[in-house]
């Protein structure tokens, strides 16, 4: 699956989920389907170029990650996100099918090794895992999707049972480039009273684990 979209993120403190939900409901958003836990394992280059590009504000940058939902290890997806300014191109490939999370990282590494024709796998390393709870929303005209992420945790790749908490509530709007003007009008006319912010779960987790001496 390939998708082009624009993403706008708004970051609030801990325990702000109810406040964010009220903003969406007042502005005509309804839940689109059941909430779920989202888990991702992020890769980076040997020199952490993906993290550095984000830190330095490089307009054209990339992320590579494995992603799955709830505890469904039979449907793990390999995703590549290419971002240029606010425009996102997301490529999703069905990756691997496991019965459980036993030896998860080793098995994902073996799978990634098999993709050497697509990725020069020796230029990449597995860095960290994130996990959070996500609810899904959509505007009444179906033009804008929204998600609310809470309970965000990060783990170093060599110890997935060790979890560090990030105290953020993240509201994100997603829409096609053709609806950008519509989103701007909706946002300003309804006075959302929020300020868009550059935010990367990978980078924030990277900072936290690096400060703890768990990334080097």
Instruction: For residue 143, give the CATH number of its domain.
Output: 2.40.320.10
Contact at 8 Å (CB) between 137 and 146?
A: yes
In a domain, 216, yes or no: no
The pLDDT, as a whole number, for residue 21 is: 94
Backbone angles phi, psi at 52, to 5 degrees: -65, -40
The pLDDT, as a whole number, for residue 216 is: 75
The number of domains in the chain is: 1
In a domain, 130, yes or no: yes
Cβ atoms within 10 Å, residue 76: 21
C-alpha span between 129 and 131 (Å, rounded): 7
In a domain, 137, yes or no: yes
Coil, helix or strand at residue 125: strand
Coil, helix or strand at residue 44: strand
In a domain, 95, yes or no: yes
What pLDDT tens digit does each residue of the chain (216 aa) get? Answer: 677 899 999 999 888 999 999 989 988 999 999 999 999 999 999 999 999 999 998 989 999 999 999 989 999 999 999 988 778 998 898 778 888 788 899 999 988 888 866 677 668 999 999 999 999 999 999 999 999 999 999 999 999 999 999 989 999 999 999 999 988 888 877 767 788 888 999 999 999 999 999 987
In a domain, 115, yes or no: yes
In a domain, 182, yes or no: yes
The pLDDT, as a whole number, for residue 73 is: 92
Task: Determine the number of helices (DSSP H) and then strands (DSSP E) in the chain.
Answer: 5, 9
Contact at 8 Å (CB) between 48 and 64?
A: no
Q: Give Cβ neighbours of residue 155 (< 8 Å, ≥ 6 apart).
A: 128, 129, 130, 131, 161, 162, 163, 164
In a domain, 203, yes or no: yes
In a domain, 88, yes or no: yes
The pLDDT, as a whole number, for residue 121 is: 64
Contact at 8 Å (CB) between 65 and 40?
A: yes
Domain extent for 118: 2-211
C-alpha span between 185 and 180 (Å, rounded): 9
């Amino acid at each position: 699956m390939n998708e082009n979209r624009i993403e706008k993120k708004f970051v609030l403190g801990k325990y702000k989920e109810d406040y964010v939900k009220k903003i969406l409901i007042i502005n005509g958003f309804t839940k689109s389907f059941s909430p779920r836990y989202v888990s991702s394992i992020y890769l980076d280059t040997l020199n952490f170029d993906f993290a550095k590009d984000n830190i330095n504000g490089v307009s054209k940058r990339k992320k590579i990650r494995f992603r799955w939902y709830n505890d469904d290890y039979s449907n793990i997806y390999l995703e590549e996100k290419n971002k240029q300014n606010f425009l996102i191109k997301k490529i999703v490939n069905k990756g691997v099918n496991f019965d459980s999370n036993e030896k998860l990282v080793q098995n994902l590494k073996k799978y990634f090794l098999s993709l050497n024709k697509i990725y020069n796998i020796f230029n990449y390393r597995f860095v960290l895992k994130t996990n959070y709870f996500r609810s899904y929303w959509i505007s009444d005209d179906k033009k804008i999707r929204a998600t609310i992420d809470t309970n965000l945790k990060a783990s170093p790749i060599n110890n997935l049972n060790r979890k560090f908490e990030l105290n953020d509530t993240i509201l994100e709007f997603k829409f096609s480039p053709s609806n950008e003007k519509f989103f701007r009008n909706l946002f300003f006319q309804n006075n959302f009273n929020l300020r868009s912010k550059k935010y990367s779960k990978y980078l924030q987790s990277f900072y936290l684990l690096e400060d703890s001496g768990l990334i080097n």
